[in-house]
Amino acid sequence: MTFEEVVQFHGHSCPGLALGYRVTALVLKELGGRAHDEELVAIVENNSCAVDAVQAMAGCTFGKGNLIFKDYGKQAYTFIRRSDGEAVRISVKWTPPPDSEEEKVMWDRYAAGDRSQEVVQVVQSRKTRKMEGVLKASDNELFKVEHVDVPLPEPARIYKSVTCSVCGETVMEPKTSRRGEDYVCLPCAEKN
Ligand SMILES: [Zn+2]
Ligand SMILES: [Zn+2]
């Protein structure tokens, strides 16, 4: 998959997506091809733009259950090959080139909500420079790569469906509480 194809999936090009692209390209080289089913599992430690590259390129998706999100706010990605448990953790160690004085000023104005043309232009070109930096850097400059031992997550499970006695909607059984013989879904249980 080219970076342009990943951009199409994500909707715009940005430094975060470029990082995800580089992470996933490296992992596919280390662990073999993309996951058609669930043979590759990704544990991502953030929910930034980068994760869209993981989904598009590695086939580790939210819907298939082989994308596990840990809300740690870290640029770190662990991939596990189910067939033999081989696992790689990639953490980003790259620091972008420093901002110029002008960029710092414009960035502060942007962060404060200023969307005037002079501000947006500088912010955009800074973004592009960062993105190109990521795409050009070597794997060594970008990442720390470790082969790690992690327990294999359970494959996606299929649960029995039941009907919520309050709203009448269908819900998977483990996401309900019992009231006598009845099942109650979580949002209904929270309401009363
Ligand atoms: Zn993005
Ligand atoms: Zn309900």
Angle, CA of 41, 14 and 130, to the nearest 5°: 110
- Separation between Cα atoms, residue 166 and residue 178, nearest integer Å: 12
Q: Give me the torsion for CA of 64, 70, 76, 81, rounded to 10°.
A: -40
The pLDDT tens digits for 17-76 are 999 999 999 999 999 877 777 789 999 999 999 999 999 999 999 998 899 999 999 999
Q: Are 174 and 61 in contact (CB under 8 A)?
A: no
Q: Identify the nearest ligand to the CA of 184 by its number.
A: 2
Give the architecture (CATH level 2) of 1-94+138-155.
2-Layer Sandwich (3.30)
| For residue 5, pLDDT beyond 90 | yes
CA of 167 to the centre of ligand 2 (A): 4
Beta bridge partners of 92: 143
Please report the pLDDT score of residue 115 as a whole number: 95
More confident residue, 32 or 132: 132
Q: Are 21 and 6 in contact (CB under 8 A)?
A: yes
CA of 49 to the centre of ligand 1 (A): 4
Domain boundaries, the chain: 1-94+138-155, 96-136, 161-191
CA of 140 to the centre of ligand 2 (A): 51
Mean pLDDT of 142-151: 95
Nearest Cα to Cα of residue 79 among 140, 146, 141: 146
- Reported pTM: 0.84
CA of 164 to the centre of ligand 1 (A): 38
Q: Identify the nearest ligand to the CA of 185 by its number.
A: 2
Please report the pLDDT score of residue 153 as a whole number: 82
The pLDDT tens digits for 150-164 are 988 887 778 999 999
Give the pLDDT band (50/70/90) at residue 177. Answer: very high
- Separation between Cα atoms, residue 172 and residue 182, nearest integer Å: 14
- Separation between Cα atoms, residue 100 and residue 84, nearest integer Å: 48
Give the pLDDT band (50/70/90) at residue 90. Answer: very high
CA of 169 to the centre of ligand 2 (A): 6
Tell me the HSE value of 119 on the side-chain side, using a 13 A CA sphere: 12
Please report the pLDDT score of residue 155 as a whole number: 76
Residue 155's SS3 state is: coil
Please report the pLDDT score of residue 154 as a whole number: 80
CA of 21 to the centre of ligand 1 (A): 11
CA of 188 to the centre of ligand 2 (A): 4
More confident residue, 93 or 32: 93
| For residue 96, pLDDT beyond 80 | yes
CA of 54 to the centre of ligand 2 (A): 34
Please report the pLDDT score of residue 157 as a whole number: 79
CA of 75 to the centre of ligand 1 (A): 14
Please report the pLDDT score of residue 33 as a whole number: 73
Mean of pLDDT over the chain = 93
| For residue 170, pLDDT beyond 90 | yes
